[in-house]
Amino acid sequence: MQVLLKLVARLPLRVLQTLGAGIGELTFWCSPGYRRRTRENLRHAGYDDPALFSKVGRNAGRQAMESLWVWYRPAADVVKRVEATEEAEALIGRAMRGDRPVVFMTPHVGCFEVLPVWLAHRFFAETKRNITILYRPPKKEVLRRIVGEARQAPGIEAVPTNLAGVKRVIRNLRLGHTFGALPDQVPSQGEGVWADFFGRPAYTMTLPVKVARQFDAVRIFAWGVRTGDGWRLEAEEWTEPLSGDPREDARLMNRRIEEIVRRLPEQYAWSYNRYKVPRGALPPPGDAR
């Protein structure tokens, strides 16, 4: 399986993006459940444009195929396709060269896989500060090995979303390294709180805001905007004070994610089941489930 994926990743990025767009479009129209969830999420956020529905489906396919290219290509090849804005370069550079821990929050916008690769290639040799990223292991063993190993690289430590992984994140932050999270990913029961996201209760992870407050970390939202056969890295610092109340801080985090998503809604992962109730978790107050 891994050999096959590596062979696929050798195709030109433009070819993979085109292939991914076709797969995404086909999946959107052939899967009623996938299509229904995408439309429901978009409409709840105030979007009701059929053209946007189609763009979202194609971009979801592009993201899937791009990930293979990012995972299995040399970091130098990937970084050549990433152009950081002046603001992002300056902000991240100051944070990485500073003496405070850094928490990166990367929503499911554009290609979120490029940030760790760009960051490690750009700053690891200079600062010796790696980034620890959490990933949700697939159910199948062969896929667990692929997803975990593919994300490992010099300057990048990928750990699963379990207790051992969280302990590793905390340990590395104490050592002065950085942490990267997908803040709009649904956490497991007990690892999140219910907080509004586009006007609906969403089970929201609290780890990014908790460790950011605990370590007085620099908080940076960063994301990779798809621009043809490459990406533009954008970033902004989140300086809004954290209260220490997980629900309030999660609400503030979701609000910032909403602001980012509204800048380029066609590149957000609207098909993701953001409003599900994790196994073992109680539904939000007032929910008939």
**What pLDDT, in 10s, does the model give residues 244-254?**
999 999 999 99
Which phi and psi angles does 193 have, rounded to 5°? -135, 160
69 vs 254: CA distance, rounded Å: 29
Please tell me the predicted confidence (pLDDT) of residue 153.
86
H or E segment to which residue 146 belongs: helix 141-151
Report the predicted TM-score, pTM, of the whole model to 2 decimal places. Answer: 0.93
Distance in angstroms (rounded) separating the CA atoms of residues 110 and 89: 18
pLDDT confidence of residue 123: 97
pLDDT of residue 29: 87
- Domain range annotation of the chain: 1-73, 82-267
Specify the 3-state DSSP secondary structure of 223. strand
Region of 228 (left: φ > 0; alpha: ψ -120 to 50; beta: rest) is: left
Q: Give the separation between CA 54 and CA 71, rounded to whole angstroms.
A: 27
pLDDT at residue 147 is higher than 90 = no
- Please give the share of the chain, as a percent, with pLDDT higher than 70: 94
State the amino acid at position 92 in one-letter form. Answer: I
- Look at residue 288 and tell me whether its pLDDT is greater than 60: no
Q: pLDDT averaged over the chain?
A: 92
The residue type at 190: G
Contact 240, 167 (CB under 8 A): no
The DSSP call for residue 235 is: E
Does residue 213 register a pLDDT over 80? yes
Question: What is the tens place of the pLDDT at every residue in 163-186?
Answer: 899 999 999 999 999 999 999 999
Closest CA to 117 of 84, 71, 56: 71
Q: What's the pLDDT at 149?
A: 64
Confidence of residue 69 (pLDDT cuts 50, 70, 90): very high
Q: Is 243 helix (H, G, I), strand (E, B) or coil?
A: coil
pLDDT band at 136 (very low <50, low <70, confident <90, very high): confident
- Does residue 254 contact residue 101 with C-beta atoms inside 8 Å? no
**What does the pLDDT average to over 51-77?**
93
Residue 225 contacts residue 231 (beta carbons within 8 Å):
yes
The two three-digit tokens of residue 134, written as one number: 């959490």
